[in-house]
Structure 1
Amino acid sequence: MTSSPPQDHHGHGSEPFLVRFARDYGWRAYAIPVLAVVTLFVIVDMVRNPGEQAVQVGAAEVTQAKTSGSGESEPAVLPEGNPSLLELPPGGAYTEQGEGSYREVGRPGAVAGTGSETVIRYVVEVENGINASAYGGDDALAALVDATFADPRGWIHDPRFRFERVTGNDNPNLHIQLTSVGTTRELCGGELGLEVSCRTTITGESTVVVNESRWVRGAAPYEGDLGRYRQYVINHEVGHAIGFADHVACPTDGALAPIMMQQTLSLNNAQLHALDPAEVYPDTPETCTANPWPYPRPAVL
Structure 2
Amino acid sequence: MNRSEDGRSGVPPRPRAGEAARRSRPRAGESAGSRPRAGDSERPRAGDLAGVGAAMSADAPASGAHRSAGSRGAPRSSVPRPDPGQPLTATWDPPAETDLDHEGFVATYGWRAYAIPVLAILTVVLLVLTVRGGSADGSADKPSPDEGRDTQVAKESAPVGAPTVQIAEAALPVGALPPGGHFTRQAKKSFHVVPVKTSKKIGRGAQEYTYTVEVEDGLIATDFSGDNAFATMVDATLANRHSWIGGGKVSFKRVGAGQSPNLRISLTSTNTARELCGYQIKLESSCFYPPTNQVLLNEARWVRGAISFDGDIHSYRQYQINHEVGHGIGYAQHEPCKQNGKLAPIMMQQSFGVRNKDIMGLDPQMDANPALSCKPNPWPFP
What's the TM-score, normalizing by structure 2? Answer: 0.59
Distance in 2, matches of 1:151 and 1:83, equals: 32
What is the aligned length? 242
2:163 corresponds to: 73
Deviation at 1:51, TM superposition (A): 5.4
Q: Secondary structure at the match of 1:264?
A: helix
Distance in 2, matches of 1:209 and 1:58, equals: 21
**2:172 is the alignment partner of 1:172:** no
Which contiguous aligned blocks of 4+ residues in structure 1 show a shift greater than 6 angstroms? none
Counterpart pick for 2:308 among 209, 212, 221: 221
Q: For 1:115-167, what per-residue CA distance to the aligned partner results, in whole angstroms no more than 9, with x for missing partners? A: 31x11110011101101223321100000000011100010112221110002
Letter in 1 for 2:166: A
Q: How does 1:197-236 map to 2 (within 5 A)?
A: 197-201=286-290, 204-236=291-323
- More displaced stretch, 58-67 vs 283-292: 58-67
Deviation at 1:83, TM superposition (A): 8.5
CA contact (8 A) 2:284 2:300 kept: yes
Distance in 1, matches of 2:317 and 2:179, equals: 16
Q: Which has the higher contact order (CA 8 A, sep 6+)?
A: 1
Relative to 1, partners in 2 of residues 1:268 and 1:156: Cα closer, same or farther, differing over 3 Å? same
Q: How does 1:1-301 map to 2 (within 5 A)?
A: 52-56=138-142, 57-64=144-151, 65=153, 67=156, 68-76=158-166, 78=168, 84-108=173-197, 109-116=199-206, 118-201=207-290, 204-278=291-365, 280-296=366-382
CA contact (8 A) 1:51 1:254 kept: no
CA contact (8 A) 1:102 1:127 kept: yes
Deviation at 1:191, TM superposition (A): 4.7
Deviation at 1:168, TM superposition (A): 2.9
CA contact (8 A) 2:159 2:277 kept: yes
2:120 corresponds to: none
Relative to 1, partners in 2 of residues 1:277 and 1:92: Cα closer, same or farther, differing over 3 Å? same
2:97 corresponds to: none
CA contact (8 A) 1:184 1:209 kept: yes
Deviation at 1:283, TM superposition (A): 4.5
Deviation at 1:171, TM superposition (A): 1.6
Letter in 1 for 2:193: E
Relative to 1, partners in 2 of residues 1:133 and 1:91: Cα closer, same or farther, differing over 3 Å? same
Q: For 1:48-75, what per-residue CA distance to the aligned partner results, in whole angstroms no more than 9, with x for missing partners? A: xx95224522542523537232125345
Q: Secondary structure at the match of 1:85?
A: helix
Distance in 2, matches of 1:98 and 1:76, equals: 26
CA contact (8 A) 1:120 1:173 kept: yes
Distance in 2, matches of 1:238 and 1:211, equals: 13
Deviation at 1:98, TM superposition (A): 0.5
Distance in 2, matches of 1:272 and 1:143, equals: 31
Relative to 1, partners in 2 of residues 1:99 and 1:158: Cα closer, same or farther, differing over 3 Å? same
Relative to 1, partners in 2 of residues 1:239 and 1:97: Cα closer, same or farther, differing over 3 Å? same
- Structure 1 gap ranges (5+): 1-49, 297-301
Letter in 2 for 1:78: A
CA contact (8 A) 1:51 1:256 kept: no
Deviation at 1:287, TM superposition (A): 0.3
CA contact (8 A) 2:343 2:375 kept: yes
The CA RMSD over aligned residues, in Å, is 2.2
Letter in 2 for 1:145: V
Structure with greater helix share of residues: 2
Q: Secondary structure at the match of 2:186?
A: coil
Distance in 2, matches of 1:105 and 1:284, equals: 42
Q: For 1:211-258, what per-residue CA distance to the aligned partner results, in whole angstroms no more than 9, with x for missing partners? A: 000000100110111110000011011111111111111111101000
What's the TM-score, normalizing by structure 1? Answer: 0.75
Q: Secondary structure at the match of 1:163?
A: strand
1:33 corresponds to: none
Relative to 1, partners in 2 of residues 1:269 and 1:83: Cα closer, same or farther, differing over 3 Å? closer
- Structure 2 gap ranges (5+): 1-135
Distance in 1, matches of 2:370 and 2:137, equals: 18
* Structure with bigger gyration radius: 2
CA contact (8 A) 1:85 1:220 kept: yes
Q: Secondary structure at the match of 2:351?
A: coil
Distance in 1, matches of 2:172 and 2:259, equals: 47
CA contact (8 A) 1:179 1:211 kept: yes
